[in-house]
Chain A
Amino acid sequence: MTRSNAYIGSPLDRIEDLRLLAGAGTFVGDLKPDNLLYAVILRSPISHGRIRKIGTAAARSLQGVAAVITAAEIGEVPIIPVRQHGKPEGEPYRQPVIAGEKVRYVGEPVAVVIASEQCIAEDAAELIELEIDELPAVATHEIAARDQTLLFENTVTNLATTFYARMGDADMAFATAEYKRKEKFSVHRHTASPMETRGLLAEWNPELQRMVVSGATKVPFFNRNVVAEMLRLQPSQVDLIEVDVGGGFGARGEFYPEDFLIPFAARYVGGNVRWVEDRREHLMAMNHAREMYADLEIACRKDGTLVGVRGRIDIDLGAYVRTNGFTTPRNVVQFVSGPYLIPNIAIDAFSYLTSKTPTGTYRGPGRYEASFFCERLLDMAANDLGIDPAEFRLKNLIPEDQLPRPLATMAGLDRTWQTELDNGAYGVVMERCLKEFGWEEKKKLQGQLIDGRYHGIAVGNFVEGGAGGRFENARMTIEKGGTVTVAVGSTALGQGLQTILSQIAADALSMPIERIRLLHGSTTLVTQGFGSFHSRSTVMGGSAILLAAEALVALLRDKGASHFGCEPDQVSVSDGYVYYGTKSMEFSAFAGSEVERQFENRKLTYSYGSHTAHVAVDPGTGHVELLDYMTVDDVGRIINPATLHGQILGAIVQGLGSTFLEHLQYDENGQLLTGSLADYLLPTATDFPNIRGISLGLRPCPNNPLGAKGAGEGGLIAVGGVIGNAIAAALRSMSVEPRDLPLSPPQIWRLIQQAKASNHNPKMNEQS
């Protein structure tokens, strides 16, 4: 190998940008085959009720309408399966692809209108007479827990499942603890909200009895098998095609009701049907996330050594258990300890169904929430004990020599639910972050009132799971002109995957990247694949590419040896040539050579790092200005530093949006109040200009040949806790403690008013 590592580690310009910057990308809404019909979905305007009538006659008779599809036209209504982290008790709560008898959230599909133009389909949808007998809304997890109104009458409870995270002996630890503090926290409902809404184009060929669905992403192979089964087709009759995708962040690409309804509609009308979600339906139909309520207690020694955490977390799941099953509820209890050495843990999680949009994974699922709870508790404890919050954390980070270390056991569950942190120099990275941030300098500002604003700083740490999903496949084929086509099951969601995987393939074959043609995502490319979730595509797809490249080189050596009449180990492969001594042959001579390899992995990667923040709080308005935000993380091995940097910065701002701005609000009737981007506030360029990130390849991952760890979520995970702590530090003189997200100006202002009122009548902390 003469050119190894020429591409990996280099901030290569992205291949994707050539088309995306020219406006020549192909997103699903750009596809317009001949004879295209448009689908519009009528959604329930009622949170919880029984459908009395769906009158479709007027809609059907509107000129241009091809069909109106309701549960009656579908017949036996398929139920969406759970893809991961399912449990038997969750099965009764899965979502039918269309509401037939009952509706359980505002936004649940009730009918599909197919017409010659989208505007006509919308006109027709307005003509559908939908009559629903309202049932009491189950708008909060507290109402759900009473079980007076059941969302599913065939069950006995709205409690879908429970989890128990256990380590050591928490009761004993708390019984003997020198210090403990109990607190309630909450994280609010918000969502991924990528800039491109969802969309699908389903093309049914009646002659060939074949279905091609474009717009797939994340997990096309799983989704292909599901839709094939629901349509009673063989998987070989269905292909899912990935086109350019406008962001995913965990929410896009799961199997949603529309992933059945649109292909079904295409077959029903015998042609091509496209559906592009509008922003309002996006906000009520795509997975929501994060809403949960924690009641937790921390225990430590007087010197600040953590000894335990215990308590319960109540989770508002929304109306159905969707494809992500219980990933988030599992994660939040498992990751409360984060990168900290907490020897005794007992946390229970209760997941309730409510009559609101179902929830699923969003970037850092469960981990953002867990980090908020944990980091807030740590700062409260550090402050009570009079220890600097940075020192407190350095003391409690898991030392490198104690890694790998299992996280809390998920009691009563098999090993697929368990995990362990792999490796890392947690303290080294945190010290680097403090230094880059200027912690010692900025500490002087802690709690100071300067020009009418209170200043505060905080630090926190995270671990980020990566490389989930058992395997990924990669296939390499030498084409006639000598280029190498590399096909992988990993999918792109806008993260620059084509560039990153091309870099890995080019290095693995020691050839110029221009001669690599990388294809990904579609079910037509490889025999089996998984996709992109859980920060896995670089690690899993990249590792599969390494294995395939190894196999291709071995194959070329064999073929070269027989051609040159030598031994395979006398043959070398690089730059698109096969060499033996002074003789060489171009790859094109070996056109048609092909290998497919699978990378299997049962161990997750854990990148990790630290966040620091400096805020100024205006007590008159409740506004918090972010003066500085600094992260340092270790991702094991960096493939493309520029794309990684973009991932980190983008994640930080998403985390800041989660913490300050974004909030899916419901009223007591289960009506969504934030159905537009004027009400659901995404961060803009003027909100958080002062953010910085440094990524390191400090400790390569031992669990994959690439040495890389999943990255891209860590920039988000610690934001809530760090910002909460920085605000608490700024307002320390008033004993303000943010416990509930989002930290909107009215919320901060209210906390200050409450603190002012109760400071006249100070309450003792629960301290022993």
Chain B
Amino acid sequence: MKFPPLRYLTPQSLDEAIALLEQHGADAKLLSGGQSLMPMLAFRLASCSILIDLKFVPGLDRITVTDRGVELGSRVRWRDIEHDVRLPTVQPLLSMAVKHIAHYAIRNRGTVGGSLAHGDPASELPALAVACGATIAIAGPNGRRSLPAEEFFLFPLITALEPNEVIVSLHFPPWPKARSFGFQEFSRRRGDFAMAGAIVFFDQDKDQNICSPHIGAFGIADTPLRLGEAEKFLLGNRAGSRIFEEAAAHGVRNVDVRADIHADSDYRRALLATLVNRALVEAAQRTSP
């Protein structure tokens, strides 16, 4: 399992990276942490003859926290997220999710941009981006654009990123105080891709009724998604075990669940309902300061 013949290029700026993409077209792929791309190359499943390493492109490796939310540069590594002391308060779900991503050594190199571009429907970060309504900043030959995460992921391993574009950053909206949140993932072994996962958060009004419920699901369909029916179910209701169970059951009913060698769709759907319910119960007990 040796890599196919490759050229390795190291642009020094974003513009140069985009110019190289323009020049080489489909033969080229961007290399960030390489933790998803390299296995594909080893199996010769990815076809490219030129790797454009972003490591010398400045400004992509920062985590920025402002009152407008959290911005993760595309070359921010899982490790950087784990070690950032601000994130547990300003985006606590990110800190929870990152613990489930692969393993220690992979987290030392895997990056935000790499994960988004790879677009695995069982990955945590794409799911979190969709659940939180995050936006992805993209640079291309015609300048910059910004895309809601929900519109970015199209099919398994297929995204809205054009071949001549580079992911610059991922932006999470602000996280208010007193928000309730939960994260539940089930995989065969620790660090494996999720068989299903649920991300939930909601706020409560002064009457303790749920407002702005967000329920995200991953490892379940062609892309990460939000469970709109479950959200509708919760909206305006008081938190409680019965409403959580019903929301979970309703939420998974119309999801187009995929099957793979690890589990069929019946199991995955039921598993997702279990995890949504557990995440809601968890959320009811866990509120950010």
Q: Do chains A and B touch in the complex (CB under 8 A)?
A: yes
Interface residues of A (CB under 8 A from B): 118-119, 122-123, 126, 278-280, 620-623, 661, 665, 673-674, 676, 678-679, 681, 683-684, 686-687, 744-746, 749-750, 753
Contacts of A749 in B (CB 8 A): 267, 270-271
Residue B242 lies at the interface, judged by CB distance under 8 Å to chain A: no
Question: Closest CB of chain A to B261's CB: distance in Å?
Answer: 5
Contact A686 to B190, CB < 8 A, known contacts A119-B3, A620-B278:
yes
Rounded to whole angstroms, the CA-CA distance of A109 and B164 in the bound complex is 41
**A684 contacts B267, CB within 8 Å?**
no
Contacts of B264 in A (CB 8 A): 746
Contact A684 B189 (CB under 8 A): yes
Residues of A within 8 A of B44 (CB): 122, 126
Q: Are B267 and A622 in contact (CB under 8 A)?
A: yes
A563 to B186, CA, bound (A): 77
In the complex, the answer to whether A280 meets B261 with C-beta atoms within 8 Å is no
Residues of B270-289 whose CB lies within 8 A of A: 270-271, 274-275, 278
Q: Is the CB of A745 within 8 A of B189?
A: no
- Within the complex, what minimum Cβ distance (angstroms) separates B168 from chain A? 29
- B262 in the interface, Cβ–Cβ < 8 Å? yes
Q: Is the CB of B188 within 8 A of A673?
A: no
A673: B residues at CB distance < 8 A: 261
Contact B2 A119 (CB under 8 A): yes
Kindly list chain B residues whose C-beta atoms are within 8 Å of the C-beta of A753.
270
- Decide yes or no: A745 and B1 within 8 Å by CB, A620-B278, A665-B261, A674-B261 being known contacts: no
Q: Does B192 contact A (CB under 8 A)?
A: yes
Nearest first, the 4 A-B pairs at minimum CB distance are: A119-B2, A620-B274, A746-B267, A278-B1
CB-contacts of B76-127 with A (<8 A): none
B261 x A746 contact (CB < 8 A): no
16 A-B residue pairs with CB within 8 Å: A118-B2, A280-B43, A620-B271, A620-B278, A621-B275, A622-B267, A661-B188, A681-B189, A681-B192, A683-B189, A684-B189, A745-B263, A746-B267, A749-B271, A750-B266, A750-B267
B25 within 8 A of A: no
Q: Bound complex: CA of A686 vs CA of B187, how far in Å?
A: 12
Binary contact readout B1-31 vs A (1 if CB under 8 angstroms, 0 otherwise): 1111100000000000000000000000000
A280 and B1 form a contact (CB under 8 A) = yes
Give the interface residue-count category, chain B.
20 to 34
Chain B residues at the A interface, C-beta cutoff of 8 Å:
1-5, 39, 43-44, 186, 188-193, 195, 261-264, 266-267, 270-271, 274-275, 278
**Taking A622-B267, A679-B261, A681-B188 as contacts, is the C-beta distance between A123 and B274 under 8 angstroms?**
no
**What separation, in Å, do the CA atoms of A278 and B190 have in the docked complex?**
25
| Residue among B4, B43, B189 with the highest chain A CB neighbour number at 10 A | B189
Which chain B positions have C-beta within 8 A of A686?
189-190
CB distance from A198 to the nearest CB of B (A): 14
Q: In whole angstroms, what is the CA distance A279 to B270 when docked?
A: 34
Report B-chain residues with C-beta under 8 Å of the C-beta of A746.
Answer: 262-264, 267
Residues of B within 8 A of A687 (CB): 189-190
Q: How many residue pairs between the two chains, A and B, have CB atoms under 8 Å in the bound complex?
A: 66
What is the minimal beta-carbon distance from A107 to any residue of chain B, in angstroms?
14
CB distance A661 to B189 under 8 Å?
yes
Q: What separation, in Å, do the CA atoms of A279 and B188 have in the docked complex?
A: 20
A118's closest neighbor in chain B, by CB?
Answer: B2
Give the chain B neighbours of A118 by CB distance below 8 A: 2
CB-CB < 8 A to B39: which residues of A? 676, 678
Which chain A residue lies CB-closest to B268?
A: A746
If A119-B5, A621-B274 are given as contacts, then 5 extra A-B residue pairs at C-beta distance below 8 Å, sorted by A number, are A122-B44, A676-B43, A684-B189, A684-B190, A745-B195
Q: Provide the residues of chain A in CB contact with B43, threshold 8 Å.
A: 280, 676
* B188→A745 contact, CB < 8 A: yes
Roughly how many angstroms separate A640 CA and B107 CA in the complex, as a whole number?
Answer: 39
- Chain B residue, CB-CB nearest to A684: B189
Interface centre among A280, A620, A623, A744 (most CB of B within 10 A): A620
Could you tell me the distance in whole angstroms from the C-beta of A358 to the nearest C-beta in chain B?
A: 22
Given the contacts A620-B274, A687-B189, A279 and B263 also touching, CB distance less than 8 Å: no
Tell me the complex Cα distance, A681–B1, Å.
19
- For B1, what are the chain A residues with a Cβ–Cβ distance below 8 Å? 122, 278-280
Q: Closest CB of chain B to A605's CB: distance in Å?
A: 36
Residue of A nearest to B3 (CB): A119
The residue of chain B having its C-beta at the shortest distance from the C-beta of A680 within the complex is: B261
Contact residues in B for A681 (Cβ distance below 8 Å)? 188-189, 192
Q: How far is the CB of B122 from chain A (nearest CB, A)?
A: 11
Q: Tell me the complex Cα distance, A746–B263, Å.
A: 6
Measured between beta carbons, the chain A residues less than 8 angstroms from B4 are 119, 123
B contact residues around A279 at 8 Å (CB):
1
Q: Which of B5, B186, B262 contacts A623 (CB 8 A)?
A: B186
**Complex formed: what's the CA distance from A555 to B276 in Å?**
78
A280 to B44, CA, bound (A): 12
A119 to B57, CA, bound (A): 30
> Considering only CB atoms, which chain A residue lies closest to B278 in the complex?
A620
With A and B bound together, what is the CA distance between A147 and B188 in angstroms? 38
Which residues of A are found within 8 Å of B274, using beta-carbon distances?
620-621
Chain B contacts for A661, CB-based, 8 A: 188-189
- Nearest Cβ in chain A — how far from B169, in angstroms? 29
Pair B271/A621 contact, Cβ less than 8 Å = yes
Closest to B193 in A: A678
In the bound complex, CA of A681 to CA of B274 (Å): 24
User: Measured between C-beta atoms, what is the minimum distance from A623 to chain B in Å?
Assistant: 7
Minimum CB–CB distance from B59 to chain A (whole Å) comes to 33
CA distance A665 to B264 in the complex (A): 14
Query: Could you tell me if A122 and B2 are in contact, using CB atoms closer than 8 angstroms?
Result: yes
Return chain B residues, CB-CB under 8 Å to A280.
1, 43
A752 to chain B, nearest CB (A): 10
Q: Which residues of B contact A119 (CB under 8 A)?
A: 2-5
Chain B residues near A278 (CB-CB < 8 A): 1
> Least Cβ distance of A417 to chain B in Å?
38
Q: Report whether A621 and B190 are in contact in the complex, using a CB–CB cutoff of 8 Å.
A: no
Nearest CB of chain A from residue B281's CB, rounded to whole Å: 11
Q: Which residues of A contact B5 (CB under 8 A)?
A: 119, 123
Report the bound CA distance from A753 to B270 in whole Å: 11
Q: Could you say which residues of chain A place their CB within 8 Å of the CB of B189?
A: 661, 681, 683-684, 686-687
- Measured CB to CB, the closest approach of chain A to B197, in angstroms, equals 12
Q: With CB as the reference atom, state the residue of chain B lying closest to A452.
A: B278
* Residues of A close to B193: CB separation below 8 A: 678
Q: Which residue of A lies closest to B195 (CB)?
A: A745
